[in-house]
Amino acid sequence: MELAIDTSTDFCSIGLSRQGETIAELTWHSGQSHTVELVPNIVRLLNQAKITPQSLRAVFVAKGPGSFNGLRVGISTAKGLALALSIPLVGISTLEVEAYPFAFTKLPICPIHNAGRGEIATALYRQNDDWRCITPEHITTIDTLCQQIKRRTLFCGEIPLPVIEQLQQRLDRHAIIPDPAARLRHACCLAALGWQRLNIGQNDNPASLQPLYLRQPPITQRKVK
């Protein structure tokens, strides 16, 4: 049994899977309450499935990009479980988790997150003979992204409405944007990707796995009285 943890944004999802096939899942809107909600919801999920933590054989975690607090909570929890239970840990890009449900379209898939400061976090994936990342995760602007899109592309993720409007206006028929419900992340996709990586030995060292922020967290300086 494997546990998948995704606390990358305000929407969180956790799941239990058997060899990558999800058997139980819980998805909720957390806001900024990741710290107080994650562990109780993991306990709830385990209880519903009538299994103990000792039954887990791996932990999969979404490693970002995303919110600084959400990623810190999710990855810290995943690391703690992996170390305490002596089981493998696999970190997967949050953008890849968002893109994966649309692999069947065979289109270029471009997940988008709001990165603040008028910028977006994005990447590009596609399923041909195999699933692959065409353009790695990076920070850019919507203007630059639109200039790079030359063919029909599926956009997914928690895309801000103004960005959706710009994509539709500037790319017209080249921009394919599923309904919001279809773009919501689910732990089942994280579990499927995590199991694939685990099977080819691409697990992570709990001591060295870090959140994929793309931009350094803001540092708040204390005022000197």
pLDDT computed for residue 74 by the predictor: 98
Coil/strand/helix, residue 72: helix
Structural domains in the chain plus CATH codes: 2-94+185-199 (3.30.420.40), 95-183 (3.30.420.40)
Interval 113-124: pLDDT, tens:
999 889 999 999
Q: Which residue is it, tokens 């975690």?
A: 61
pLDDT reading at 221 higher than 50:
no
Interval 167-178: pLDDT, tens:
999 999 999 999
DSSP bridge partners of 18 = 21
pLDDT computed for residue 223 by the predictor: 46
Interval 96-142: pLDDT, tens:
999 999 999 999 999 999 998 899 999 999 998 899 999 999 999 99
pLDDT band at residue 218, thresholds of 50, 70 and 90?
A: low
pLDDT computed for residue 217 by the predictor: 60
Residues 6+ positions from 153 with CB-CB distance below 8 Å = 107, 108, 109, 110, 124, 171, 174, 175, 176
pLDDT reading at 222 higher than 70:
no
Mean pLDDT within 51-74: 96
Mean pLDDT within 17-46: 95
* C-alpha torsion angle, residues 128, 101, 104, 88 (rounded to 10): 50
pLDDT reading at 45 higher than 80:
yes
Q: What is the percentage of the chain residues whose pLDDT exceeds 70? A: 96
Interval 149-169: pLDDT, tens:
999 999 999 999 999 999 999
pLDDT computed for residue 29 by the predictor: 92
Average per-residue pLDDT for the chain: 94
Residues 6+ positions from 137 with CB-CB distance below 8 Å = 65, 93, 95, 121, 122, 123, 212, 214
Q: DSSP code of 55?
A: G
pLDDT computed for residue 214 by the predictor: 85
Residues 6+ positions from 192 with CB-CB distance below 8 Å = 17, 20, 21, 22, 100
Cα–Cα nearest to 187, from 129, 100, 83, 88: 100
Coil/strand/helix, residue 186: coil
